[in-house]
Amino acid sequence: MQADFVVVGAGSAGCALAYRLAEAGHSVIVIEYGGSDWGPLIRMPGALSYPMNMARYDWGYHTEPEPHLGGRVMAAPRGKVIGGSSSINGMVYVRGHARDFDTWAQMGAIGWSFADVLPYFRRMEHWHGPEPSSWRGDAGPLHVSRGTRTNPLYHAFVDAGRQAGYEVTEDYNGAKQEGFGAFEQTVHKGRRWSAADAYLKPGMRRFNLRLVQGLAERVIVEDGRAVGVALRSSPRFSVASLKSDTPRLLTEALVSEIRARREVILAASAFNSPKLLMLSGIGPADHLAEHGIPVIADRPGVGANLQDHLEVYFQMRSSQPITLYRYWNLLGKAWVGARWLLTRTGPGATNNFESCGFIRSRAGVEYPDIQFHFLPLAVRYDGKMIAEGHGFQAHVGPMRSPSRGTVRLNGSDAVTAPEIRFNYMSTAEDWTDFRRAIRLTREIFQQEAFREFSAGELLPGANVTSDEALDAYIREHAESAYHPCGTCRMGDASDPGTVVDPDARVIGVEGLRVADSSIFPQITNGNLNAPSIMVGEKVASHILGETLPRDDVKPWIHPEWKTGQR
């Protein structure tokens, strides 16, 4: 079996990349270990906490004990299904701040400044916003919408931000990220709109794009050139049992290798792309030697530079029975599900993250470094713990932690989970930033706008005010926002820590690229689905040799950022 291009991973970036290559007339095979994305738990946005906990859809990875968080072992979910993590994520849509990408370019990823990436964000989007905007795209495959914001708490959150002295933003994905406003979601006509919906399925219908189900075990390298991928078939889902809307297009791998006439591209996520490189002999030589893997390219940066966003849930008790808690029982859930099935409307038709905020933590910070997700329910993201009674919350956390971790092999067998160490909260700066984020959140919930809705603080709790008490709370309760990235860092080819050059080519091996969240030089300011898809779109252009023209627009920066926090 062979194709011009072999892509490993039908996730956020892989789907976009495969579509663009196939659209240009090339034959493309995508290898995906996960199975069908059919079924209401993935399709219904309001059910988002289910797929991320299901072994069928999640790789089930965990961190090593995190030394600075009391040795906690934390869940590190990653999508294992068509659409990858975009099929199990929270559907929040954030491009990131323009300065994030300018920083990428300064770090050696030449050609990835905001002026370079904006045309790709535009090309991928079909934004259903209230007003057309030159910053946004309206003809791309990825539908982006806003919720109906019928719950008054959504407006209270934005009003509280304004009352606390912050900006209001009409479109945080446009010129002005900083401020409070309406959140956007990858939801279309009441259904999750994953990268598979946007790119993979239409691409398979229209072009020479095939999907093969199997576990990629390693890249086959001959004479310094990647020529294919060795794989193992995945016995769990047979073609016949798949209820995908494109079942005939999914072929189970009956072969042990797939050859690439032109290139192999890894898009297997920030955990599995470095793992696959290492299994293929590309990585830190001493670590490969520990596992008896012959070294093809000694790249110490593979698996290094792991980054994430860490957050806490700041929860308030509600004085009015208007939160989503009213549906948090068997009858309520049945009603939400039935309404969604029949009409694609109601609380099931949204991820319920409909208001947000991006603020700067202190004077001297040029652009936002704290993000808020507001939710009219007091619950953990993964749905595992809910406060008794009506409540609401903001997920809050710093956006640019200096902590760095690693992804390493646990063995030389491809089925063994990698060893993941985030090393969260390993610097003093992390602690000051996190305390500040919590104190600023408390101040927002104390504003007039919440007076009629608030019956006091649930978590961290009104008595958790000292540095020591806040630190203890963070140590015990901080959770991943599920944004791992950076483990195959893109940068200047002469830098030994770089894994891929600015064309996403793996340094030291011909015919091999990486295109997913692992190549981010630095984490972006917000959730990572949009920038991961952008990476897939843009790397395809680099491969095809036809990058889009730059667009040098200026983002809004607070005029008094040097001297004021708001």
Ligand X SMILES: Cc1cc2nc3c(=O)[nH]c(=O)nc-3n(C[C@H](O)[C@H](O)[C@H](O)COP(=O)(O)OP(=O)(O)OC[C@H]3O[C@@H](n4cnc5c(N)ncnc54)[C@H](O)[C@@H]3O)c2cc1C
Question: Under a CB-based contact definition with an 8 Å cutoff, are residues 166 and 361 in contact?
Answer: no
> What residue has token string 């989503």?
324
Pair type for strands 370-375 and 391-398: antiparallel
Nearer to ligand X by Cβ, of 449 and 539: the residue is: 539
Binding ligand X (rule: CB under 6 A), the pick from 3, 7, 9, 46 is 9
Structure tokens of 274?
A: 């470095």
Any contact of residue 5 with ligand X (CB under 6 A)? no
Nearer to ligand X by Cβ, of 216 and 227: the residue is: 216
Distance of CA 118 to the CA centre of its chain: 18
Any contact of residue 310 with ligand X (CB under 6 A)? no
Total residues at the site for ligand X (CB under 6 A)? Answer: 41
> What residue has token string 């949009």?
530
- Following DSSP, what letter does each residue of 387-422 receive, concatenated? -SSSEEEEEEEES-----BEEE-S-SSTTSPPEEE-
Which CA distances in Å does 151 have to 130, 166, 169, 355? Answer: 19, 22, 19, 10
Instruction: In whole angstroms, give the CA distance from residue 313 to residue 392.
Output: 10
Does residue 291 have an active-site annotation?
A: no
Nearer to ligand X by Cβ, of 406 and 532: the residue is: 532
Bridge partners of 265, per DSSP, are: 7, 513
- Rg (C-alpha) for the chain, rounded Å, is 23
Write the interaction track for ligand X spanning residues 83-102; mark x where CB under 6 A is met and - where it is not.
-xxx-xxxxx----------
Burial class (CB in 10 A: 0-12, 13-18, 19+), 359: buried
> In the range 42-71, which residues lie near ligand X by CB under 6 A?
52
Binding ligand X (rule: CB under 6 A), the pick from 13, 115, 153, 310 is 13
Give the shortest CB-452-to-ligand X separation in angstroms. 29
Any contact of residue 226 with ligand X (CB under 6 A)? no
Active-site annotation holder among 126, 483, 542, 558: 483
Instruction: In whole angstroms, give the CA distance from residue 105 to residue 115.
Output: 10
Instruction: In whole angstroms, give the CA distance from residue 291 to residue 416.
Output: 12
Distance of CA 30 to the CA centre of its chain: 20
Binding ligand X (rule: CB under 6 A), the pick from 113, 280, 525, 527 is 527
Any contact of residue 528 with ligand X (CB under 6 A)? yes
> In the range 488-517, which residues lie near ligand X by CB under 6 A?
516-517
Nearer to ligand X by Cβ, of 9 and 161: the residue is: 9
Contacts of 223 (CB under 8 A, 6+ apart): none
Any contact of residue 177 with ligand X (CB under 6 A)? no
Binding ligand X (rule: CB under 6 A), the pick from 151, 169, 272, 361 is 272
Binding ligand X (rule: CB under 6 A), the pick from 26, 43, 68, 80 is 80
Binding ligand X (rule: CB under 6 A), the pick from 19, 20, 22, 32 is 32
Any contact of residue 280 with ligand X (CB under 6 A)? no
- Enumerate the active-site residues: 483
Under the rule (CB under 6 A), what is the footprint of ligand X? 8-14, 31-34, 52, 77-80, 84-86, 88-92, 215-216, 267-270, 272, 276, 482-483, 516-517, 527-530, 532
